[in-house]
Structure 1
């Protein structure tokens, strides 16, 4: 696990979010659209190495019943070092504090229904 990484509760800015998306091969999105979407996040964390955002996790939903993990992104060169696990742990902590009526759903990347946590 990388020891120089800290996880902070923070919504990434549109520029950094787009940079992370491109780094992992996801489609690039218009900056204004990204900014609008990020502002609607229920919860977000960023993995920081010094002042650089090297990963993020984001939860979206209606704020009462449904909570979805929208993004877990870590720069490719820092993957497999436990950063994604740290991000996910913070997301799940948020879920335990905030979710009163429904489980958090996740997809395991395969077609069909995701697992219920």
Structure 2
């Protein structure tokens, strides 16, 4: 009788752990399209146009996220802590804004200076 009770407890605990694991699974394979869709669901607050190396750069701000478009590529950024100005980090790059100037920096440490053209609300 005691063996049956221990076996039953083991089966119940194992099943419970399996169920909890299945319920807590997270889909870590989000594509950039999925992330862009999530950003589109947030009300846009404003956008800005910059000129970086004589090439237009556009950035849309969505709460603590931003969508940066430059040279036919789109990057999704998240606001980070900055001592001054606004600092956004993304996969492979960062964008720092201070007054009317900005810097676009890629992971290869290439820094591109940008100047504000206009802000759109």
Q: TM-score, normalised by structure 1?
A: 0.30
More strand by share: 2
Structure having greater relative contact order (Cα 8 Å, sep ≥ 6): 1
More helix by share: 1
